[in-house]
């Protein structure tokens, strides 16, 4: 039996359409890497324009521009490691939780320390503003959480029934 050549099957050419998703992804650039002096302990975006990112690393907090990836401001007035940096809803204030047991409130524009709140006996791992903009919630390695009044710098409530370190705090999204 002789070899019999078969005809190649022809398929119609596929039309190349560019989907909106492909257009979106093709506009993105490669990630931008920035070296830090130590481990990054927190990153948070500013909810108000121009939407900088607060990056806490070692004994400082740096604000990065989302447009240029450059450092806009540096807060380096800390004596110990900064574990948490969080913006207030209007983006004008920044609260930090530190290894030296303090909760600090800073003015983003002038970089000044407005208030230092003492009361925890262990490192403050998380500090966040409440939605009402006048209270701060902090969580610590001393197994307590504190709800602070921003105006007076005193704790309104202390929650101390935890049996282990409290390392993070998140607000419930409902009002």
> What CA–CA distance (Å, rounded) separates 40 from 160?
28
Asked if 145 and 136 touch (Cβ cutoff 8 Å), the reply is: no
Instruction: Tell me the backbone φ, ψ of residue 82, rounded to 5 degrees.
Output: -95, 120
Kindly tell me the burial class for residue 152, based on how many C-beta atoms sit within 10 Å of its own C-beta (0-12, 13-18, 19 or more).
exposed
pLDDT > 80? residue 150: yes
pLDDT greater than 80 at residue 27: yes
Fold entry, domain 35-159: Methylamine Dehydrogenase; Chain H (2.130.10)
Residue 98 has pLDDT above 70, yes or no: yes
Residue 34 has pLDDT above 90, yes or no: no
pLDDT score for 38: 85
Tell me: pLDDT of 54 over 70.
yes
Between CA 84 and CA 29 the distance in angstroms is: 29
pTM over 0.95: no
| Amino acid 175: pLDDT | 65
* The predicted structure's pLDDT at residue 82: 93
Higher pLDDT, 1 or 125: 125
């Amino acid at each position: 039996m002789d070899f019999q050549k078969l005809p190649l099957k022809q398929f119609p050419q596929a039309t190349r359409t560019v989907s909106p998703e492909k257009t979106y992804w093709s506009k993105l650039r490669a990630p931008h890497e920035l070296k830090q002096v130590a481990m990054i302990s927190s990153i948070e975006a500013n909810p108000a324009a121009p939407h900088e990112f607060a990056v806490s690393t070692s004994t400082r907090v740096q604000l990065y521009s989302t447009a240029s990836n450059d450092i806009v401001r540096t807060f380096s007035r800390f004596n110990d490691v900064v574990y948490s940096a969080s913006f207030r809803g209007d983006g004008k204030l920044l609260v930090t939780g530190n290894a030296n047991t303090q909760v600090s409130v800073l003015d983003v524009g002038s970089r000044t320390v407005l208030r230092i709140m003492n009361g925890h006996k262990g490192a403050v791992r998380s500090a966040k503003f409440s939605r009402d903009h006048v209270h701060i919630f902090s969580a610590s390695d001393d197994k307590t959480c504190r709800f602070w009044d921003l105006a007076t710098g005193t704790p309104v409530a202390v929650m101390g029934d935890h049996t282990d370190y409290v390392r993070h705090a998140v607000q419930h999204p409902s009002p």
